[in-house]
Structure 1
């Protein structure tokens, strides 16, 4: 019916006849069936993302880190375009994703965060370690969960190996405050403090040589 009206208006306009009053506008609404279909597709993608994430978790437990990475990437791919907090790539069109219920939005963000956190964990087990990616994924987790101790630790490890010791200390101090008994966190914090002490000592010697 909508298409028939649309074609009628086009035909009348082509004959030089205006079928509408001056300054009138036509609004075509989307049928409710299309919205229901979109909701079903969205729900299916959320469910498939969960399945891929669980597959990634199983592969991680089995030590199949590359397969785990693939599972987490597939989960994130299912969620692409669903996040209502992301801006639309087209200006002035509002959020990118469809309308989600609070429960769906919580599930989406939790799944995203878990996948990024687990991706960082996988990459730390794979040689050669891509510390730039570990840093990137850990920081994505911390954007939504600033107190996530595992993400703080992994970000600190990444910055340490990227030789940004000030940032490494920042994240590792935050991690040790949340997990004071974690031996790995304390070990990396100690290594970071040693590197910073060595750097400052060399810097002091350099200045003394220049101005002494």
Structure 2
């Protein structure tokens, strides 16, 4: 894996922590924090640029922009309050409109990151599932996240859970061709697993009967 490839798979939270540690060790005083609206605009701009790269099939650059957007959004998320206080900065509360924009942008970025990863060679299905599940925490009925979580889960070997994701996605969007196809694929995989299990038990039963008959017939 080259250095640019490694950058694509960077852990966003780890990158943020590393930047924080670097600033602390250097003895630098944190720079004044931008207003919430300015940070949100910056995050949306990063997402927009990422979308443009995605349409151009430039997945690497798209992923980088999406990661940049997430770094900004993490600093605005109320769940990061303790981290921000540790830096000696005050996190001003978001207005209801800003909170909505924050969540919607997070949802879009995580969904788009999952879409990017699914198109790369050597797909990291665990990461696709992770991003999709983050979306579902905020929007349990998000069809794109349900579908991608299902695809990743199926590829990771859990056909039953994958079927549950696809079934929910089908309820939300019954005419989606891809959802229908993968729901059928999950059901076929489950049927194959069931047939294998039945064959295994039949083999065990027949083997047991053979041993039992040998004992009955004597030496």
How does 1:71-110 map onto structure 2 within 5 Å?
Answer: 71-86=65-80, 88=82, 97-110=91-104
Change in Cα spacing, 1:112 to 1:162, as seen in structure 2 (3 Å) is same
Match of 2:136 in 1: 142
Change in Cα spacing, 1:141 to 1:97, as seen in structure 2 (3 Å) is farther
Residue 39 of structure 1: how far off its partner (Å):
7.2
Residue 193 of structure 1: how far off its partner (Å):
0.8
Structure with the higher helix share, 1 or 2: 2
How does 1:1-212 map onto structure 2 within 5 Å?
Answer: 40-86=34-80, 88=82, 97-212=91-206
CA contact (8 A) 1:56 1:68 kept: yes
TM-score by length of 1: 0.75
Alpha-carbon distance in 1 for matches of 2:148, 2:84:
35
Residue 210 of structure 1: how far off its partner (Å):
1.7
> Mind listing any 5+ residue stretches in structure 1 that lack a counterpart?
1-36
Residue 97 of structure 1: how far off its partner (Å):
4.9
Length, aligned pairs only: 172
> Mind listing any 5+ residue stretches in structure 2 that lack a counterpart?
1-30, 207-219
Residue 117 of structure 1: how far off its partner (Å):
0.6
- Alignment RMSD (CA, Å): 2.1
TM-score by length of 2: 0.73
Match of 1:6 in 2: none
Change in Cα spacing, 1:89 to 1:45, as seen in structure 2 (3 Å) is closer
Alpha-carbon distance in 2 for matches of 1:39, 1:192:
48
Alpha-carbon distance in 1 for matches of 2:91, 2:194:
48
